[in-house]
Structure 1
Amino acid sequence: MTVAAYLHRVEDQPGQAKETRMRFEGAVPRTGETEVLVHNISELGMVFETDEAFAIGDPIDIKLPQSGATRARVAWTSGRLIGLDFDLPISRISLGTARLRDAVSVGPDGPDSANRMESFGMRVQRLRLALGMSQGQLAKHMNVSDPAVCGWELNRTRPKPGRMEALAEILGVSMADLLGEQAVFPLSATIDSARQAIALAAGVTQDRVRINIEV
Protein backbone atom coordinates (compact mmCIF):
# COMPACT_ATOMS: atom_id res chain seq x y z
CA MET A 1 0.00 0.00 0.00
CA THR A 2 1.01 3.65 -0.24
CA VAL A 3 0.70 6.80 1.82
CA ALA A 4 0.63 10.41 0.66
CA ALA A 5 3.33 12.96 1.44
CA TYR A 6 3.87 16.53 0.25
CA LEU A 7 6.99 17.74 -1.51
CA HIS A 8 8.20 21.36 -1.62
CA ARG A 9 11.19 22.27 -3.80
CA VAL A 10 12.67 25.72 -3.14
CA GLU A 11 14.13 27.26 -6.26
CA ASP A 12 17.83 28.07 -6.38
CA GLN A 13 18.75 31.37 -4.79
CA PRO A 14 21.99 33.24 -5.59
CA GLY A 15 24.75 31.59 -3.58
CA GLN A 16 22.40 28.96 -2.12
CA ALA A 17 21.75 25.35 -3.06
CA LYS A 18 18.26 24.17 -3.97
CA GLU A 19 16.31 22.84 -0.99
CA THR A 20 13.75 20.05 -1.02
CA ARG A 21 11.41 19.33 1.88
CA MET A 22 8.87 16.57 2.45
CA ARG A 23 6.16 16.32 5.10
CA PHE A 24 3.53 13.72 5.95
CA GLU A 25 1.07 15.56 8.17
CA GLY A 26 -2.09 17.09 6.72
CA ALA A 27 -4.67 16.00 4.18
CA VAL A 28 -3.94 18.35 1.26
CA PRO A 29 -0.85 20.02 -0.22
CA ARG A 30 -0.05 23.59 0.71
CA THR A 31 0.86 26.33 -1.75
CA GLY A 32 3.99 25.33 -3.66
CA GLU A 33 3.77 21.65 -2.67
CA THR A 34 3.10 18.61 -4.83
CA GLU A 35 1.65 15.33 -3.58
CA VAL A 36 3.86 12.24 -3.83
CA LEU A 37 3.16 8.58 -3.02
CA VAL A 38 5.38 6.75 -0.54
CA HIS A 39 5.49 3.03 -1.40
CA ASN A 40 7.91 1.78 1.26
CA ILE A 41 9.49 3.25 4.37
CA SER A 42 11.74 1.67 7.00
CA GLU A 43 14.21 2.78 9.65
CA LEU A 44 16.92 3.07 6.98
CA GLY A 45 15.24 4.41 3.87
CA MET A 46 12.15 4.89 1.74
CA VAL A 47 10.82 4.75 -1.81
CA PHE A 48 8.41 7.32 -3.21
CA GLU A 49 6.82 8.12 -6.56
CA THR A 50 6.82 11.54 -8.19
CA ASP A 51 7.00 13.37 -11.53
CA GLU A 52 9.79 15.56 -10.12
CA ALA A 53 13.33 14.88 -11.39
CA PHE A 54 16.07 14.03 -8.88
CA ALA A 55 19.76 13.19 -9.15
CA ILE A 56 21.74 10.65 -7.13
CA GLY A 57 22.93 12.27 -3.91
CA ASP A 58 20.28 15.03 -3.81
CA PRO A 59 19.35 15.80 -0.16
CA ILE A 60 15.75 15.94 1.06
CA ASP A 61 14.72 17.18 4.52
CA ILE A 62 11.79 15.07 5.73
CA LYS A 63 9.37 16.00 8.52
CA LEU A 64 8.26 12.74 10.13
CA PRO A 65 5.28 12.23 12.45
CA GLN A 66 6.39 12.33 16.11
CA SER A 67 10.10 12.31 15.22
CA GLY A 68 10.81 15.76 13.84
CA ALA A 69 13.00 16.37 10.80
CA THR A 70 15.59 14.04 9.32
CA ARG A 71 17.74 14.24 6.21
CA ALA A 72 17.73 11.68 3.43
CA ARG A 73 19.66 11.42 0.18
CA VAL A 74 18.69 10.00 -3.20
CA ALA A 75 20.23 6.53 -3.55
CA TRP A 76 18.68 5.62 -6.92
CA THR A 77 16.03 6.63 -9.43
CA SER A 78 13.97 4.47 -11.76
CA GLY A 79 11.38 6.27 -13.85
CA ARG A 80 8.93 7.89 -11.41
CA LEU A 81 10.35 6.00 -8.41
CA ILE A 82 12.96 7.57 -6.11
CA GLY A 83 14.89 5.59 -3.49
CA LEU A 84 16.20 7.44 -0.42
CA ASP A 85 18.64 6.44 2.32
CA PHE A 86 18.34 8.28 5.64
CA ASP A 87 21.54 9.86 6.98
CA LEU A 88 20.58 8.40 10.38
CA PRO A 89 18.02 5.64 11.13
CA ILE A 90 14.60 7.07 11.96
CA SER A 91 12.64 6.33 15.11
CA ARG A 92 10.41 3.27 15.30
CA ILE A 93 7.88 5.58 16.93
CA SER A 94 7.37 7.25 13.57
CA LEU A 95 6.98 3.91 11.80
CA GLY A 96 4.25 2.97 14.23
CA THR A 97 2.10 6.04 13.57
CA ALA A 98 -1.17 5.60 11.71
CA ARG A 99 0.06 8.03 9.06
CA LEU A 100 2.95 5.78 7.94
CA ARG A 101 1.80 2.31 8.93
CA ASP A 102 0.47 1.29 5.51
CA ALA A 103 3.85 1.89 3.85
CA VAL A 104 6.14 0.41 6.51
CA SER A 105 8.47 -2.21 5.04
CA VAL A 106 10.52 -4.63 7.15
CA GLY A 107 12.28 -7.52 5.47
CA PRO A 108 13.05 -10.93 7.01
CA ASP A 109 16.50 -9.73 8.09
CA GLY A 110 15.41 -6.39 9.53
CA PRO A 111 14.70 -2.92 8.20
CA ASP A 112 15.50 -2.24 4.55
CA SER A 113 17.64 0.49 3.08
CA ALA A 114 16.64 2.05 -0.24
CA ASN A 115 19.12 -0.17 -2.07
CA ARG A 116 17.48 -3.31 -0.66
CA MET A 117 14.04 -1.98 -1.64
CA GLU A 118 15.20 -1.55 -5.24
CA SER A 119 13.93 -4.36 -7.45
CA PHE A 120 16.17 -6.26 -9.85
CA GLY A 121 14.59 -4.54 -12.83
CA MET A 122 15.01 -1.09 -11.32
CA ARG A 123 18.65 -1.88 -10.61
CA VAL A 124 19.37 -3.01 -14.16
CA GLN A 125 17.72 0.13 -15.53
CA ARG A 126 19.63 2.41 -13.15
CA LEU A 127 22.99 0.81 -13.96
CA ARG A 128 22.28 0.88 -17.69
CA LEU A 129 21.29 4.55 -17.66
CA ALA A 130 24.35 5.42 -15.57
CA LEU A 131 26.45 4.12 -18.47
CA GLY A 132 24.42 6.13 -20.99
CA MET A 133 23.31 2.89 -22.65
CA SER A 134 19.98 2.25 -24.35
CA GLN A 135 17.99 -0.97 -23.98
CA GLY A 136 18.92 -1.81 -27.57
CA GLN A 137 22.62 -1.33 -26.91
CA LEU A 138 22.49 -3.52 -23.81
CA ALA A 139 20.58 -6.16 -25.78
CA LYS A 140 23.28 -6.11 -28.46
CA HIS A 141 26.05 -6.52 -25.86
CA MET A 142 24.14 -9.40 -24.28
CA ASN A 143 23.24 -10.99 -27.65
CA VAL A 144 19.53 -10.99 -26.76
CA SER A 145 16.46 -9.23 -28.16
CA ASP A 146 15.34 -5.74 -27.13
CA PRO A 147 12.13 -7.18 -25.59
CA ALA A 148 14.27 -9.46 -23.39
CA VAL A 149 16.01 -6.47 -21.79
CA CYS A 150 12.66 -4.69 -21.46
CA GLY A 151 11.30 -7.77 -19.67
CA TRP A 152 14.20 -7.72 -17.21
CA GLU A 153 13.66 -4.07 -16.37
CA LEU A 154 9.91 -4.60 -15.91
CA ASN A 155 10.63 -7.56 -13.57
CA ARG A 156 8.74 -9.93 -15.87
CA THR A 157 11.75 -12.18 -16.44
CA ARG A 158 15.39 -12.53 -15.39
CA PRO A 159 18.48 -13.51 -17.36
CA LYS A 160 19.52 -17.15 -17.20
CA PRO A 161 22.34 -17.82 -14.67
CA GLY A 162 24.99 -17.90 -17.39
CA ARG A 163 23.86 -14.56 -18.77
CA MET A 164 23.60 -12.98 -15.31
CA GLU A 165 27.40 -12.99 -14.94
CA ALA A 166 27.79 -11.41 -18.37
CA LEU A 167 25.21 -8.76 -17.47
CA ALA A 168 27.10 -7.87 -14.28
CA GLU A 169 30.34 -7.53 -16.24
CA ILE A 170 28.77 -5.31 -18.92
CA LEU A 171 27.18 -3.08 -16.27
CA GLY A 172 30.48 -2.89 -14.37
CA VAL A 173 29.30 -4.29 -11.05
CA SER A 174 29.75 -7.44 -9.00
CA MET A 175 27.13 -10.19 -8.98
CA ALA A 176 26.26 -9.25 -5.38
CA ASP A 177 25.66 -5.62 -6.39
CA LEU A 178 23.60 -6.67 -9.41
CA LEU A 179 21.42 -8.95 -7.31
CA GLY A 180 21.19 -6.47 -4.41
CA GLU A 181 22.73 -8.89 -1.96
CA GLN A 182 24.33 -7.68 1.26
CA ALA A 183 28.02 -8.35 1.71
CA VAL A 184 28.77 -11.53 3.65
CA PHE A 185 32.00 -11.57 5.59
CA PRO A 186 34.06 -14.80 5.69
CA LEU A 187 33.47 -16.89 8.80
CA SER A 188 37.13 -16.61 9.85
CA ALA A 189 36.99 -12.79 9.72
CA THR A 190 33.75 -12.77 11.74
CA ILE A 191 35.26 -15.05 14.41
CA ASP A 192 38.44 -12.93 14.63
CA SER A 193 36.37 -9.79 15.08
CA ALA A 194 34.25 -11.42 17.79
CA ARG A 195 37.33 -12.78 19.59
CA GLN A 196 38.92 -9.32 19.62
CA ALA A 197 35.76 -7.71 21.04
CA ILE A 198 35.38 -10.39 23.75
CA ALA A 199 39.05 -10.13 24.75
CA LEU A 200 38.79 -6.35 25.05
CA ALA A 201 35.64 -6.55 27.17
CA ALA A 202 37.10 -9.27 29.44
CA GLY A 203 40.50 -7.62 29.78
CA VAL A 204 42.42 -10.65 28.47
CA THR A 205 44.55 -11.39 25.41
CA GLN A 206 42.89 -12.79 22.30
CA ASP A 207 44.68 -16.14 22.67
CA ARG A 208 42.69 -16.72 25.90
CA VAL A 209 39.38 -16.56 24.04
CA ARG A 210 37.91 -19.76 22.57
CA ILE A 211 34.86 -19.79 20.32
CA ASN A 212 33.09 -23.09 19.68
CA ILE A 213 30.47 -23.53 16.97
CA GLU A 214 28.00 -26.41 17.30
CA VAL A 215 26.38 -27.64 14.09
Structure 2
Amino acid sequence: MTAQPKRMFDRREPRLVLQLRTGVGQAGRAFDAEIMNISTGGMLVRTSSDISQNDPIQVVLPQSGAVGARVVWSAEDFYGCSFDTPISEDELDSVRDAARFHSPFREAYGVDHETLGARIKRLRTASGFTMVELAQKVGVSKPTLWKWEGDQVRPRHETMGILAQQLGVGELELVYGAPRLGEEVASLEGDEEQGSLADIVRASRKRIAEAAGVDEVSVDIHINWGNE
Protein backbone atom coordinates (compact mmCIF):
# COMPACT_ATOMS: atom_id res chain seq x y z
CA MET A 1 0.00 0.00 0.00
CA THR A 2 1.50 3.36 -1.00
CA ALA A 3 2.24 5.88 1.73
CA GLN A 4 0.15 9.03 1.56
CA PRO A 5 1.43 11.97 3.61
CA LYS A 6 -1.91 13.21 4.86
CA ARG A 7 -2.41 14.63 8.31
CA MET A 8 -4.76 12.58 10.45
CA PHE A 9 -5.24 15.48 12.88
CA ASP A 10 -3.91 18.94 13.69
CA ARG A 11 -0.16 18.76 14.32
CA ARG A 12 -0.59 21.33 17.09
CA GLU A 13 -2.89 18.99 19.02
CA PRO A 14 -1.22 17.24 21.99
CA ARG A 15 -0.72 13.51 21.48
CA LEU A 16 -0.08 10.61 23.80
CA VAL A 17 2.95 8.61 22.76
CA LEU A 18 2.60 5.06 24.00
CA GLN A 19 2.36 1.42 23.02
CA LEU A 20 -1.00 -0.16 23.78
CA ARG A 21 -2.02 -3.58 22.52
CA THR A 22 -5.57 -3.63 21.19
CA GLY A 23 -7.66 -4.92 18.32
CA VAL A 24 -8.79 -3.48 15.02
CA GLY A 25 -11.77 -4.71 13.02
CA GLN A 26 -12.51 -4.18 9.34
CA ALA A 27 -14.91 -5.89 6.93
CA GLY A 28 -15.73 -8.65 9.40
CA ARG A 29 -12.10 -9.35 10.31
CA ALA A 30 -10.44 -8.74 13.67
CA PHE A 31 -6.70 -8.59 14.13
CA ASP A 32 -4.04 -7.62 16.66
CA ALA A 33 -2.72 -4.07 16.62
CA GLU A 34 -0.85 -1.54 18.73
CA ILE A 35 -1.68 2.12 19.24
CA MET A 36 1.60 4.03 19.03
CA ASN A 37 0.24 7.53 19.63
CA ILE A 38 -3.19 9.04 19.93
CA SER A 39 -5.02 12.37 20.23
CA THR A 40 -8.70 13.26 20.39
CA GLY A 41 -8.79 13.41 16.59
CA GLY A 42 -6.87 10.32 15.51
CA MET A 43 -4.16 7.76 16.16
CA LEU A 44 -1.17 5.96 14.75
CA VAL A 45 -1.64 2.18 14.63
CA ARG A 46 0.92 -0.52 13.95
CA THR A 47 -0.15 -3.96 12.75
CA SER A 48 1.26 -6.70 10.56
CA SER A 49 -2.20 -7.18 9.01
CA ASP A 50 -3.23 -5.30 5.88
CA ILE A 51 -5.79 -2.55 6.46
CA SER A 52 -7.65 -1.17 3.48
CA GLN A 53 -8.05 2.59 3.09
CA ASN A 54 -11.40 2.05 1.38
CA ASP A 55 -13.36 0.55 4.27
CA PRO A 56 -14.04 2.01 7.74
CA ILE A 57 -12.38 0.39 10.73
CA GLN A 58 -13.11 0.01 14.42
CA VAL A 59 -10.50 0.11 17.16
CA VAL A 60 -11.08 -0.97 20.76
CA LEU A 61 -10.43 1.73 23.36
CA PRO A 62 -10.60 1.12 27.13
CA GLN A 63 -13.55 3.37 27.94
CA SER A 64 -15.68 3.48 24.80
CA GLY A 65 -15.06 0.03 23.35
CA ALA A 66 -15.13 -0.19 19.54
CA VAL A 67 -14.67 3.29 18.04
CA GLY A 68 -15.10 4.11 14.35
CA ALA A 69 -12.20 5.49 12.31
CA ARG A 70 -10.74 5.63 8.81
CA VAL A 71 -7.23 5.12 7.51
CA VAL A 72 -5.91 8.31 5.90
CA TRP A 73 -2.31 7.25 5.20
CA SER A 74 -0.10 4.18 5.55
CA ALA A 75 3.57 3.23 5.41
CA GLU A 76 4.61 -0.41 5.80
CA ASP A 77 3.05 -1.61 9.10
CA PHE A 78 1.97 1.86 10.24
CA TYR A 79 -1.45 3.39 9.65
CA GLY A 80 -2.52 6.94 10.36
CA CYS A 81 -6.20 7.00 11.28
CA SER A 82 -8.80 9.71 11.84
CA PHE A 83 -11.67 9.08 14.27
CA ASP A 84 -15.18 9.44 12.87
CA THR A 85 -16.01 11.46 15.99
CA PRO A 86 -13.31 12.99 18.22
CA ILE A 87 -12.80 11.06 21.44
CA SER A 88 -12.96 12.73 24.84
CA GLU A 89 -10.15 13.75 27.17
CA ASP A 90 -11.47 11.11 29.59
CA GLU A 91 -10.90 8.48 26.91
CA LEU A 92 -7.34 9.73 26.43
CA ASP A 93 -6.80 9.30 30.17
CA SER A 94 -8.18 5.77 29.93
CA VAL A 95 -5.79 4.94 27.09
CA ARG A 96 -2.88 6.35 29.08
CA ASP A 97 -3.83 4.30 32.14
CA ALA A 98 -4.25 1.12 30.12
CA ALA A 99 -0.87 1.60 28.44
CA ARG A 100 0.89 2.46 31.67
CA PHE A 101 -0.26 -0.68 33.44
CA HIS A 102 0.28 -3.03 30.53
CA SER A 103 3.02 -5.57 31.23
CA PRO A 104 4.85 -7.50 28.50
CA PHE A 105 4.40 -10.57 30.68
CA ARG A 106 0.62 -10.37 30.35
CA GLU A 107 0.26 -11.03 26.67
CA ALA A 108 -3.27 -12.43 26.98
CA TYR A 109 -4.74 -9.23 28.38
CA GLY A 110 -6.82 -6.77 26.40
CA VAL A 111 -7.21 -3.04 26.90
CA ASP A 112 -9.23 -3.69 30.06
CA HIS A 113 -6.50 -5.92 31.55
CA GLU A 114 -8.66 -9.03 31.54
CA THR A 115 -7.91 -12.27 29.82
CA LEU A 116 -10.44 -13.43 27.27
CA GLY A 117 -11.52 -16.24 29.58
CA ALA A 118 -12.06 -13.91 32.53
CA ARG A 119 -14.03 -11.55 30.30
CA ILE A 120 -16.29 -14.37 29.07
CA LYS A 121 -16.94 -15.47 32.64
CA ARG A 122 -17.66 -11.93 33.86
CA LEU A 123 -20.03 -11.18 30.98
CA ARG A 124 -21.76 -14.55 31.39
CA THR A 125 -22.31 -13.89 35.09
CA ALA A 126 -23.53 -10.35 34.44
CA SER A 127 -25.98 -11.72 31.86
CA GLY A 128 -27.38 -14.23 34.35
CA PHE A 129 -26.37 -17.34 32.40
CA THR A 130 -25.22 -20.53 34.03
CA MET A 131 -22.42 -22.35 32.24
CA VAL A 132 -24.90 -24.94 30.97
CA GLU A 133 -27.31 -22.30 29.66
CA LEU A 134 -24.67 -20.31 27.79
CA ALA A 135 -23.05 -23.44 26.40
CA GLN A 136 -26.41 -24.57 24.99
CA LYS A 137 -27.09 -21.18 23.40
CA VAL A 138 -23.66 -21.11 21.75
CA GLY A 139 -23.87 -24.77 20.70
CA VAL A 140 -20.95 -26.19 22.67
CA SER A 141 -20.54 -28.44 25.68
CA LYS A 142 -20.13 -27.21 29.25
CA PRO A 143 -16.52 -28.57 29.39
CA THR A 144 -15.70 -26.52 26.29
CA LEU A 145 -17.06 -23.34 27.88
CA TRP A 146 -15.15 -24.18 31.06
CA LYS A 147 -11.94 -24.37 29.03
CA TRP A 148 -12.71 -21.00 27.42
CA GLU A 149 -13.25 -19.34 30.79
CA GLY A 150 -10.08 -20.95 32.11
CA ASP A 151 -8.05 -19.61 29.16
CA GLN A 152 -7.08 -23.15 28.20
CA VAL A 153 -8.41 -22.79 24.65
CA ARG A 154 -9.89 -19.95 22.60
CA PRO A 155 -13.26 -20.12 20.84
CA ARG A 156 -13.03 -20.66 17.10
CA HIS A 157 -13.65 -17.68 14.85
CA GLU A 158 -17.04 -18.93 13.71
CA THR A 159 -18.10 -19.40 17.36
CA MET A 160 -16.79 -16.09 18.66
CA GLY A 161 -19.51 -14.08 16.93
CA ILE A 162 -22.29 -16.24 18.38
CA LEU A 163 -20.73 -16.00 21.83
CA ALA A 164 -20.43 -12.22 21.60
CA GLN A 165 -24.06 -11.90 20.52
CA GLN A 166 -25.27 -13.96 23.47
CA LEU A 167 -23.14 -11.91 25.88
CA GLY A 168 -24.39 -8.62 24.47
CA VAL A 169 -21.10 -7.18 23.19
CA GLY A 170 -19.45 -6.84 19.80
CA GLU A 171 -17.06 -9.55 18.67
CA LEU A 172 -14.17 -7.09 18.55
CA GLU A 173 -14.83 -5.97 22.12
CA LEU A 174 -15.21 -9.54 23.35
CA VAL A 175 -11.77 -10.45 22.03
CA TYR A 176 -9.90 -7.26 22.92
CA GLY A 177 -11.77 -5.76 25.84
CA ALA A 178 -15.31 -4.68 26.62
CA PRO A 179 -15.82 -1.27 28.31
CA ARG A 180 -17.38 -1.22 31.76
CA LEU A 181 -20.87 0.08 32.37
CA GLY A 182 -21.11 3.20 34.50
CA GLU A 183 -22.75 1.39 37.40
CA GLU A 184 -19.98 -1.22 37.40
CA VAL A 185 -17.33 1.48 37.71
CA ALA A 186 -19.31 3.21 40.46
CA SER A 187 -19.48 -0.06 42.39
CA LEU A 188 -15.70 -0.19 42.68
CA GLU A 189 -15.84 1.76 45.93
CA GLY A 190 -17.81 -1.07 47.47
CA ASP A 191 -16.14 -4.03 45.79
CA GLU A 192 -12.94 -3.38 43.83
CA GLU A 193 -12.63 -7.01 42.79
CA GLN A 194 -15.50 -6.50 40.32
CA GLY A 195 -13.49 -4.00 38.28
CA SER A 196 -10.56 -4.34 35.93
CA LEU A 197 -7.23 -2.87 36.92
CA ALA A 198 -7.75 0.14 34.67
CA ASP A 199 -11.17 0.78 36.28
CA ILE A 200 -9.69 0.57 39.79
CA VAL A 201 -6.89 2.96 38.89
CA ARG A 202 -9.28 5.51 37.38
CA ALA A 203 -11.61 5.35 40.39
CA SER A 204 -8.66 5.64 42.78
CA ARG A 205 -7.18 8.61 40.93
CA LYS A 206 -10.53 10.39 41.12
CA ARG A 207 -10.92 9.78 44.85
CA ILE A 208 -7.33 10.87 45.59
CA ALA A 209 -7.76 14.02 43.50
CA GLU A 210 -11.00 14.93 45.28
CA ALA A 211 -9.42 14.34 48.70
CA ALA A 212 -6.33 16.39 47.81
CA GLY A 213 -8.26 19.14 46.08
CA VAL A 214 -6.32 18.82 42.82
CA ASP A 215 -7.14 17.89 39.24
CA GLU A 216 -7.06 14.19 38.33
CA VAL A 217 -4.25 14.77 35.83
CA SER A 218 -2.03 15.71 38.78
CA VAL A 219 -2.41 12.25 40.31
CA ASP A 220 -0.15 9.44 39.16
CA ILE A 221 -0.40 5.87 40.42
CA HIS A 222 2.53 3.54 39.80
CA ILE A 223 2.68 -0.25 40.13
CA ASN A 224 5.98 -2.08 40.54
CA TRP A 225 5.54 -5.28 38.57
CA GLY A 226 8.84 -6.62 39.87
CA ASN A 227 10.98 -8.88 37.73
CA GLU A 228 8.33 -11.33 36.61
Instruction: Provide TM-score, normalisation by structure 1.
Output: 0.33
Larger CA Rg, structure 1 vs 2: 1
Relative to its length, the structure with more helix (as a share) is: 2
What TM-score do the two structures reach when normalised by structure 2? 0.31
The structure carrying a bigger strand percent of its residues is 1
